[in-house]
Structure 1
Amino acid sequence: MTQLVLVVDELSAWAPYFPSENLVDFETYLKQPPVKNAPRTRVINLCRTGKYLSNGYYCSLLAEARGQHVIPSVSTLNNLRNKGLFAFGFDGVSEALDAHVGDLEAGAKVKVKSCFGQCAVPGLESLCRELFERLPCPVLELTFRRRSRWELTGLAPLSPRELAEQEEDLFANALDRYSRIIWRQPKSAKRYRYDLAMLVNPNEALPPSDAGALKRFVRAGERAGVNVETITRKDYQRLAEYDGLFIRETTAIDHHTFRFAQKAEHEGLVVIDSPTAILRCANKIFLAESFAKNGVPTPKTLMVNPKQKDAADWLETELGYPLVLKIPDGAFSRGVYKVADKAQLVETLSKLRNASALVLAQEYFFTEFDWRIGVLNHQPIFACKYFMVKGHWQIYRHNDGKEADSGGFVTLPTHEAPSAVINAALKAVKPIGDGLYGVDIKEGKGRVAVIEVNDNPNIDHGVEDVFLKDRLYDMVIEDFVRRFEKGREAVAAKKGRRDGR
């Protein structure tokens, strides 16, 4: 269980709040000796941190040196001094402030307090929550300046002592809510070797794993002595409590899933999939270049600037019709366009002018189904045929505002898939990494062609697990255990070298 420590400059700073056995002043915290094999410790630094080399700064520095997880971190404190860091806009901010203070003249300033990502101004909740995710700090003062519209122009860390009386309730309630999350009790008395966080989005329309699959991952964890716990984006600050992170939410670069992967890797967790894998798989331009360099068979593929004047003529000459245009970061068949003639090509290129500096153009390779080969640590673990939606040329057909249609499927043991398909899948993932991937491959007319590698492949109950059943989930969890143990061995070996053994 995680141990929590609240550090204040002086105990008198805590006078407006209920006493807490977890509270210490800075001098006491400073004199605490290092403890070997200490329990996981969370430090909430409530000292004044606004100045460099202040008590608050040293509190965070000492916590990190002791291997404790602290908010704000030293990195956060340094970032808060970077005035260019928060020169960005947020939707709805100007409207919320107009409603809060009225339409003030240009040059007016407004300050708003945020406590653990919560604030008292309606309409600013999402902004404060996002800032807390990016720059975890117990209390932040946000400064807004009115120009043509309201803009965020300043962020400053505060201690509870710097709050007005009417703001103390906001702080106390926010701390209580935050500490309840990190003071969580184990769900059972059963001891687990490892703790694995499984990131999900309960509201996602097309998640990588359905509810049935998620339950089976949890049960597989129990069989392997791993506590698999589902978390959501609001649990960002709890990542350090775990040994690993398993992302079961659709990933993207400019997205909290990528930030989760980065933070988990920074904290030393085992991560599937890693931020490197997300970066490489999320962009079809990278994949196309990687496939070409490593001799992976693909449809004929070209990269083109949609603003290039002769782009349509060039693609028409090189690929003919029909051809396929793809934006680099599309997923689930989104951002993929089949072009039948010159007029449609010109129209689609024009549509994509502002979507990306480069788009991918490929020859149209029709097949009745696509292979999806699941690969884990460079080994094939499942093979599926995903059939096209009836009357459509893709596996998914997106209906405006409605649930997407999808084609049928057949799941096979990997040894029954053509060896050329399996070999192409393994060759495609080799430069990506050793994580969990789904490789989409077309096969027909004596050819095998890799379409893309997905860093977060679907594993749904009743689809990818039809052949292996629970064994598929066991294989994934067992690979996490292998990685956990490999990490422990590396730490032990490093310690042995340091101790001269």
Structure 2
Amino acid sequence: MSWVILTGRQSDLTQAATPHKIITNRDYLAHPALFRGQRPKVINLSNNYGYQSRGYYASLLASSRGHRVIPTVETMIDLSEHKLYENALPELELALNKCRKDLGAYPAKVCIFFGIGPSKAWDRFARLLFDWFRAPALEVSIKDASGWASIRKIGFHPLARMSPEEMKRFTACLDVYTGREWRETKTRTPARYTFATLVDPNEELPPSEISSLRHWARIAEKMGVEVEPITRKDLAKLANYDALFIRETTSISNHTYRFARRAQQEGMPVIDDPLSMIRCTNKVYLNELMTANKVPVPPTVMIAGISDLQLAADTLGFPLVLKIPDSSFSRGVKKCSDVEELKALATEWLEDSDLLIAQKFIPTKFDWRVGVLGGQPLFAVHYLMARKHWQIVNHKANGKPDQGGIKTFTLKNAPAQVVETAVKAASCIGDGLYGVDLKETNDGIFVIEVNDNPNLDHNCEDTGEKDEVWVRLTQWFLDRLEKQRR
């Protein structure tokens, strides 16, 4: 069975509207064994999604039964108060106003059904709204003043309030939504599960090369899993898959976070999960988290303004390392040799970030990267510095980035203290996949950062543990899927 549609009353939606199973939310709540052994996709069309209402409990229990459901209780809560969804408004309003030339004047209210608007002119906004709030029917109140359309309110639009014309459009959108995903599911190669892998074929420094993902796909196939690449354009069909592995460089401000959030809302195992992305992205947070959990880190000073620079200089000495909190692949990380260099760089960076961190520069014997998956070490490597540079990646002003080499170890041959420290650091973040960067010095082991979305390539990070790396990655997803089924 593919789809189960829940209604407040049997008469709210006739069976003729869809070939899928229609039952009332009352029947769904009262019969927990109704779909035992199946994993239906549930569309909750209750007329009330308020806290502790029947509609609320239907989505809540769908999640506990391992059924995929829209809307989720998270979406219900997000839309219950303006302050809970106001962070989405700037991006939504920008998309809304880009539709102006095609729309002309804006209506006071517009209804979006399954990410589809009343006309093609609404496509950009409707898709983005569905990305943020995956709900069957949403009503958006709009204020159009001074040439800029703003959003007053976003709320659910229940079947009971729909006019005959709206009901006609709603059922057509329902058929498009379920029909599209049903056909795609039927044409897939038979497998126990299908995992989506989010990639950008044009990314300059991807966390996994396409050839490495093909290697993973061959191993996963032997375990009853189909691995299928998807791109940023495929968010609408993410629910067709059973799990998501993000192999683009992650960022809270781009589509990778929306993919992670959507997967989590669908109840799908995902690497990287949204919380790990939030925690790993910010070096200020990481430093305080590691310190609070007694994980060794370099001496660090927080910089909130120019007045803090002297404290950093006095505490850390020179050279020191200045970092933008949100950065990756050695970007936004520079070494300062003296006060003048520190002041010039900090002045420039403080224009874009309210906080910076300065850390003591630590000469090292070895720079380690330890992969950790599900709380257990996965691989251990040395990342070597780029040629004539103090970082593993040298981002030149012109030309391609220059990367250092790699030296791999088996976990058995890696220093036990390095591996144990890495596992402890990763456990502060979650149980997903992390790359922990550590410096081995004469004074001990120091954690530099914990990365979500770590590099994982065939014949590189997997050289020490061989295909066991990819088997364990596949098994991580399978374990969570099997747990859901139980």
CA distance in 2, matches of 1:381, 1:94: 45
Q: Give the match's secondary structure for 1:348.
A: helix
CA 285–223 in structure 1, closer or farther in 2 if over 3 Å, else same: same
CA distance in 1, matches of 2:170, 2:481: 40
Whether the aligned pair in 2 keeps the contact of 1:304 and 1:358 (CA below 8 Å) is yes
What's 1:398 paired with?
395
Q: Give deviations 1:337-389, integer Å, cap 9, x for gaps.
A: 22233222122222232544432111223559732122234443322222222
Segments of structure 1 that go 5 or more residues without pairing to the other structure are 492-501
CA distance in 1, matches of 2:312, 2:130: 46
How much has 1:458 moved relative to structure 2?
A: 0.8
Q: Give the match's secondary structure for 1:220.
A: helix
CA 466–95 in structure 1, closer or farther in 2 if over 3 Å, else same: same
Segments of structure 2 that go 5 or more residues without pairing to the other structure are none
Between the two proteins, the alignment pairs up a number of residues equal to: 475
What's 1:290 paired with?
289
How much has 1:38 moved relative to structure 2?
A: 5.0
CA distance in 2, matches of 1:359, 1:418: 32
CA distance in 1, matches of 2:44, 2:140: 19
CA 353–28 in structure 1, closer or farther in 2 if over 3 Å, else same: closer
Q: Does 1:359 align with 2:356?
A: yes
Q: Give deviations 1:416-457, integer Å, cap 9, x for gaps.
A: 434443343234334334432211123355654321111221
CA distance in 2, matches of 1:51, 1:408: 54
Residues 362-441 of structure 1 aligned to structure 2 (within 5 Å): 362-366=359-363, 370-399=367-396, 403-441=400-438
Residues 42-61 of structure 1 aligned to structure 2 (within 5 Å): 42-45=41-44, 49=47, 58=54, 61=57
Q: Does 1:471 align with 2:472?
A: no
Q: Which moved more, 1:155-164 or 1:311-320?
A: 155-164
Whether the aligned pair in 2 keeps the contact of 1:213 and 1:460 (CA below 8 Å) is yes
What's 1:115 paired with?
113
CA distance in 2, matches of 1:409, 1:402: 22
What's 1:179 paired with?
179
CA distance in 1, matches of 2:423, 2:50: 51
TM-score by length of 2: 0.79
How much has 1:208 moved relative to structure 2?
A: 1.9
Q: Does 1:155 align with 2:154?
A: yes
Whether the aligned pair in 1 keeps the contact of 2:116 and 2:123 (CA below 8 Å) is yes
Whether the aligned pair in 1 keeps the contact of 2:49 and 2:56 (CA below 8 Å) is no
Q: Which residue identity lines up with residue 385 of structure 1 in the other structure?
A: H
Q: Which residue identity lines up with residue 329 of structure 2 in the other structure?
A: F
What's 1:219 paired with?
218
What's 2:343 paired with?
346
CA distance in 1, matches of 2:421, 2:130: 43
Residues 230-379 of structure 1 aligned to structure 2 (within 5 Å): 230-232=229-231, 244-254=243-253, 256-258=255-257, 260-261=259-260, 264=263, 269-305=268-304, 307=305, 309-366=306-363, 370-379=367-376
CA distance in 2, matches of 1:269, 1:132: 18
Whether the aligned pair in 2 keeps the contact of 1:199 and 1:248 (CA below 8 Å) is yes
CA 139–486 in structure 1, closer or farther in 2 if over 3 Å, else same: closer
CA 481–138 in structure 1, closer or farther in 2 if over 3 Å, else same: closer
What's 1:99 paired with?
101
Q: Which moved more, 1:391-400 or 1:58-67?
A: 58-67
Q: Does 1:22 align with 2:24?
A: no
Q: Give the match's secondary structure for 1:280.
A: helix
CA distance in 2, matches of 1:99, 1:133: 23
What's 1:209 paired with?
208
How much has 1:240 moved relative to structure 2?
A: 6.5
Q: Give deviations 1:273-316, integer Å, cap 9, x for gaps.
A: 444433432222232223334443433222221x2x42121122
How much has 1:260 moved relative to structure 2?
A: 4.9
CA 480–69 in structure 1, closer or farther in 2 if over 3 Å, else same: closer
Q: Give deviations 1:91-136, integer Å, cap 9, x for gaps.
A: 644643542455x7xxx85444433223366775443223212222
CA distance in 1, matches of 2:341, 2:119: 48
CA distance in 2, matches of 1:484, 1:146: 46
Q: Give the match's secondary structure for 1:153.
A: strand
Q: Which residue identity lines up with residue 40 of structure 1 in the other structure?
A: R
Q: Which residue identity lines up with residue 129 of structure 1 in the other structure?
A: R
Whether the aligned pair in 2 keeps the contact of 1:93 and 1:124 (CA below 8 Å) is no
Report the aligned-residue RMSD: 4.1
CA distance in 2, matches of 1:126, 1:401: 35
Q: Does 1:140 align with 2:138?
A: yes
Residues 77-88 of structure 1 aligned to structure 2 (within 5 Å): 77=76, 79-87=78-86, 88=89
What's 1:188 paired with?
189
Q: Which moved more, 1:459-468 or 1:175-184?
A: 175-184
Q: Which moved more, 1:122-131 or 1:166-175?
A: 166-175
TM-score by length of 1: 0.77
Q: Which moved more, 1:357-366 or 1:1-10?
A: 1-10
CA 463–171 in structure 1, closer or farther in 2 if over 3 Å, else same: farther
CA distance in 2, matches of 1:336, 1:155: 40
Whether the aligned pair in 1 keeps the contact of 2:313 and 2:339 (CA below 8 Å) is yes
